[in-house]
Structures are given as C-alpha cells and as structure tokens.
Amino acid sequence: MLGGRSPVRPERVGIVVVYPRLLGLYGDRGNGIAVQHRAEARGIPTSLVEVEPGDPIPEQGDLYLVGGGEDRSMTAAARLLDAQAGLRRAVEAGAGCLAVCAGLQLLAREYVGHDGSVRPGLGLLDVTCGRLPGPRAVGEVVARSEIDGSALLGFENHQGDAVLGPLARPLGVVAVGRGNGHDRLEGARQGRVIGTYLHGPVLVRNPALADWLLAQAVGHDLAPLADARVERLRRERLRAAPTLRARRLRRG
C-alpha cells in the first residue's frame, strides 16, 4: 500500500508516476526507478505506481513524479489534471513532488500554451511560465544546487521560461545553459515541491536531489549511498560541458 505523510517513517514509500505515456519525454519516467533504486539500496521498501490517462491519481502517495511532454501531450495532461484533483490534494496534504519541463509549467500558477494563450496551472508552485525569446533552449545544463551546493546536471529542450514569485526559491544557479531564462536561475522549489527544466532523467544524473526528495518522504536524513555508475555518468556529463565555469564546478 502507499505510505502516509506523518513525521514517522512510512511503512512503505509510495512513489506515483503521473501519466508517463503523456509526460515521459526523454526518459522522465526513469525518475521513479531512480528513487526506488536508491530507497531499496538502503533497505527502505517502496511501491511504484504508474498512473495512466483514465486512471484515478491516488492521494496517499509520498512522492509524485510528473515528466515532460510535447504540446499535444501537455494539453491532454492538463485537461486530465483539471478533471480530477488527486495530485493537487496529495501535494497540498504534504506529499513531495518533482515536476519536469512541461510538468513544471502544469504545476505553475499559469503558463503560455503553444497557441500563445495564457492558461491556469495547478498553482502548486508560485511560478509564472511564459515563452523564451529567440531559439529554443537546447543542450547540456550545469548549475549549482541551491539545496546542497552540488553540481546539478541535466539536458534541456524547451521554449518556456519561469519567473519565480515570492513563495518560490530557485533550485539552482546556472553555469552552463539557459534554465529558466532569467537571472541565471534553474527551476523552482517550494516546500516539498520541485520544478525543473532538466531531463536526463534528472534524478539519475543527480543522486543528491533524489536523496533529498526521498528524505522528505521518509521523514529523516539518509545514510550516504555511493553508486559508481552514477558517478561515472556525472563525470562524463561534466566533461561534455565546454566552459571554464563547468570545469570549476567539477573541481568543486
């Protein structure tokens, strides 16, 4: 069964992946596998539920994962999320949530659709999403995490921006890439909710971020967990970022 959200460690951490067929661009559904792997490597039992269109979103999960999608998929997902309040109710009750790219926009106060119209989001992040001027933001991103100071890595491919309101704080400060398109910031965080433009999947590339979300779900700090394969991947992606600032982050 899905775990609760009391300060006591849940009997089983419930991970809910929302509409992966619609919002699974660039392997974002792998974020659920990444969290499950890091939990069970520590002996923390989990359940992973993938909710597809037509299925109700369970409200008793501990961590909800919303991925990215193309314009039509995002529009379909927005209609489904408007039609049922499971995700909103779960997050408002204290569940954690990671929303990537289109997912970030869907959780924002409002966003601009592909037709230029302004549309209301779920309002779970104090963020307003418009459109980036000029070409799409495409390529590797390196930022410094505002959670723990580590290098935050990912791949972006989007035309959206993100302007943070007073209740939201940035996820990272960009050294390489576009991120939110303003003030060298990447993503947003508000309570247990994180939004980002980073694919990768982002929780595979950034184990510290995965562990932060997992720690919120279990209600306590986690023992360190080394993963040589992930560290090799991070070193490779840092080497691929062709700037002095990225090299400085790697040395840090």
In this structure, the strands spanning 110-112 and 63-66 are unpaired
Q: Express each pLDDT in 15-67 by its tens digit.
A: 999 999 999 989 999 999 999 999 999 999 999 999 999 999 999 999 999 99
Terminal Cα-to-Cα distance of the chain (whole angstroms): 41
Catalytic residue among 37, 97, 158, 199: 199
Could you tell me which residues are annotated as the binding site for substrate?
Answer: 136
Which residues does 58 contact at the CB level (< 8 Å), separation at least 6? 2, 14, 16, 49, 51, 86, 90
Distance (Å, whole) CA 63 – CA 17:
9
Q: Which domains, from first to last, does the chain contain? A: 13-251 (3.40.50.880)
- Tokens 């390196």 belong to 142
Q: Express each pLDDT in 227-237 by its tens digit.
A: 999 999 999 88
Could you tell me which residues are annotated as the binding site?
Answer: 136
Whether the CB-CB separation of 197 and 180 falls below 8 Å is answered with: yes
pLDDT band at 2 (very low <50, low <70, confident <90, very high): very low
Q: Express each pLDDT in 112-164 by its tens digit.
A: 988 889 999 999 999 999 999 899 999 999 999 999 999 999 999 999 999 99
Active site residue 114: no
Catalytic residue among 37, 101, 129, 158: 101
Rg (alpha carbons) of the chain, rounded to whole number: 17
- Tokens 């590339």 belong to 205
